[in-house]
Amino acid sequence: MLIKKILPAERERALALAMDVFMQYEAHDYPKEGIETFRRFLADREKIEALEMYGSYEGDELTGMIAMGNEGEHVTLIFVDGRHQRRGVGRKLFEAAIGESSSETITVNSSAFAVGIYRRLGFTAVAEEQTSNGLRYTPMIYKNKNSG
């Protein structure tokens, strides 16, 4: 498995992977409003271009992606193709992304599907599950041992 920054020319491929995985594993937990909110976010070029993205690759196949916002302070997106889940891909992506972050804390608004995954990565919930624009999420935080 190779982890590397996703170049601008590869972003559409990464966003398509995110949408596919979202639809397969998470969309059933959301009303139509939440699915449309997610779709609109992925289509917002200004927001997407502000993110730092990393991908995991098996040969030429993109198997997972992570996008960090706020200069490495916030996990905005993390998705792993279903055929590659439970193989450490998400952990490797997260480790690569935080290795580039100098922030003391990293936040995420975790979907219900991913709360357990984030806990295994070392995140803790800082509030109960919330809903905004049809998206359900749990605010979580990670203390970055790589900062400083």
Residue range 32-68, pLDDT digits in tens: 999 999 999 999 999 999 999 999 999 989 999 999 9
In whole angstroms, give the CA distance from residue 102 to residue 104: 6
> Regarding beta strands 105-110 and 2-5, do their DSSP bridges make them parallel or antiparallel, or are they unpaired?
unpaired
Which residue, among 59, 124, 67, has the nearest Cα to 90 in the 3D structure?
A: 67
This prediction has a pTM of: 0.89
DSSP 8-state assignment for residue 7:
P
Type and span of the H or E element at 54: strand 52-58
Residue range 90-138, pLDDT digits in tens: 889 999 988 877 788 999 999 988 898 899 999 999 999 999 999 999 9
Residue whose entry in the numeric block shows the structure tokens 């480790």: 95
